[in-house]
Amino acid sequence: MTALKITGAVVLVLFLLSLVRFGAWVEYGQSGVTVKIKLGPFRFTVVPGKPRKKPAEKKQKPKPTPTDEQKPGPPDIGGALSLVKEFLPLVADAAGRVRRTIRIDTFYLDLTMGASDPAMAALSFGGANAILGMLWPPVEQNFKVKDYRLRTAVNFDLQAPTVWLQAAATLTIGQAVSLGVHLALRALSILRAHQRAVRAKRQTRTPAQHKTQKEAV
33-82 pLDDT, tens digit each: 999 999 998 999 998 866 666 666 666 666 666 555 555 555 555 566 77
pTM: 0.69
Q: What pLDDT score does 156 carry? A: 92
Give the other-Cβ count within 10 Å of 90's Cβ: 15
Average pLDDT over residues 131-148: 92
Q: What pLDDT score does 132 carry? A: 93
pLDDT band at residue 204 under the 50/70/90 scheme: confident
Looking at every residue in the chain, the average pLDDT score rounds to 83
d(CA 49, CA 51): 6
Q: Which amino acid is at 207?
A: P
Q: What pLDDT score does 64 carry? A: 62
Q: What pLDDT score does 147 carry? A: 96
Q: What pLDDT score does 22 carry? A: 93
pLDDT band at residue 8 under the 50/70/90 scheme: confident
Share of the chain above pLDDT 70, in %: 79
**Extended beta strands in 117-208, E state:** 144-154, 162-172
End-to-end distance of the chain based on CA atoms, in angstroms? 79
Q: What pLDDT score does 142 carry? A: 87
pLDDT tops 60 at residue 1: yes
pLDDT tops 80 at residue 206: no
Q: What pLDDT score does 146 carry? A: 94
Could you give the angle at which helices 2-18 and 173-216 cross, rounded to 10 degrees?
Answer: 80
Tens digit of pLDDT for each residue in 154-201? 999 999 999 999 999 999 999 999 988 988 998 898 888 888 888 887
The structural domains of the chain, with segments of one domain joined by +, span: 20-49+78-216
pLDDT tops 80 at residue 112: yes
Q: What pLDDT score does 21 carry? A: 92
Could you give the angle at which helices 173-216 and 77-101 cross, rounded to 10 degrees?
Answer: 170
pLDDT band at residue 28 under the 50/70/90 scheme: very high
Q: What pLDDT score does 55 carry? A: 61
d(CA 101, CA 172): 9
Residue 152 β-bridge partners: 111
